[in-house]
Amino acid sequence: MNKNVGLRKIFGWWSVIICIAGFISGCTYYVKAPPAPAVKTEIRTIRPYPRAVWVPGRWKWRRRRGRHVWIPGHWRRR
């Protein structure tokens, strides 16, 4: 009886170790989008109202178009 319990524990631990090793070695990273192009230079306009905050422009990946699209900077209320 004790022999079976010991073998089950050993088999159980080895199966856990093998599963973890397989999981770690099988990890693959995929990049969903290519790196964004360089940031564009923008000219800020005059602040439209006193509490306005400038949100700089940025590149955003559009999967449907299959390319990066420039989102221009704009003023936003605080």
Domain ranges of the chain: 2-77
Beta bridge partners of residue 71, listed in sequence order: 58
pLDDT at 39: 84
Does residue 25 carry a pLDDT above 70?
Answer: no
pLDDT at 46: 92
pTM, 2 dp: 0.52
For residue 2, is pLDDT > 60? no
Q: How confident is the model at residue 53 (pLDDT cuts 50, 70, 90)?
A: very high
Average pLDDT for the chain: 81
**What per-residue string of b and e applies to 20-48 under the rule 16 or more CB within 10 Å gives b?**
eeeeeeeeeeeeeeeeeeeeeeeeeeeee
